[in-house]
Amino acid sequence: MQKDQNAFECKMCGCCCHGEGGIIVSPTDLNRLKQALNLPEDEIIQHYLLKRNEKLVIKTDSEDQCIFFKYGEGCLIHEVKPDICRAWPFFRGNLEDRMSWEMAMDICPGINPDVEHSEFVRQGLNYLQENNLIMNNDPNAANVLKLYNINGFDK
Ligand code: SF4
Ligand code: SF4
């Protein structure tokens, strides 16, 4: 395995896809789903989403698992899943705080415990930037980026 990709590899266990209300669907996410599923917005909302505190979240099944997760296959909408799913496990807390990263390992077997936190951060920031998952106008994100001196970040 290449060093550049060894901090995380999803094992498709579904642990991070558990629990109602945790997966927020932004307007951008909804647009992506509309195009991928070729369905009008109201049908997507009716079939797959719920409204929680003015936000849209993905429905869960009777076992509280995201309705798009299938055991043995993983995420059925992997290519177009919401940004929050695409960003995991490189959430800002796990990048800024070593203890959060250690706790994340308890639920996510995809995080490689043999890779140092600093390397997890380096790979995570590269991944987030490459996939447009970092907000350059977010001051907290900017601090993390500056701290680790990621090439190409100048905001
Ligand atoms: S908890 Fe980690 S390994 Fe399991 S499905 Fe989520 S990202 Fe993949
Ligand atoms: S959309 Fe996919 S990755 Fe996100 S919680 Fe559901 S099954 Fe998991």
**In this structure, are 73 and 110 located in the same domain?**
no
**In this structure, are 95 and 131 located in the same domain?**
yes
Mean pLDDT, the chain, whole residue set: 87
- β-bridge partners, 65: 18
In a domain, 69, yes or no: yes
pLDDT digit string, tens, across residues 60-82: 999 999 999 999 999 999 999 99
Rounded-to-integer distance, Cα 96 and Cα 138, Å: 14
- β-bridge partners, 116: none
Q: What is the DSSP string of 99-144?
A: HHHHHHHHH-TTB-TTS-HHHHHHHHHHHHHHTT-S-TT-HHHHHH
In the structure, what pLDDT confidence band is assigned to residue 32 with cuts at 50, 70 and 90? Answer: very high
pTM score of the predicted model:
0.87
In the structure, what pLDDT confidence band is assigned to residue 1 with cuts at 50, 70 and 90? Answer: very low
Alpha carbon of 116 to ligand 2 centroid (Å): 27
At residue 17, what is the residue type? Answer: C
**In this structure, are 107 and 64 located in the same domain?**
no
Closest approach atom of ligand 1 to CA 89? 7
Give the domain range for residue 134. 89-147
**In this structure, are 43 and 94 located in the same domain?**
no
pLDDT digit string, tens, across residues 96-121: 899 999 999 999 999 999 999 999 99
Atom 8 (ligand 2): residue with closest C-alpha?
A: 17
Exposed, middle or buried: residue 23 (CB in 10 Å: 0-12, 13-18, 19+)?
buried
Domain boundary pick from 82, 106, 134: 82
Domain boundary pick from 51, 82, 113: 82
Q: How many domains does the chain have?
A: 2
Q: Which of 8, 9, 10, 85 to mutate to test the pocket of ligand 1 (most atoms within 8 A of CB)?
A: 10
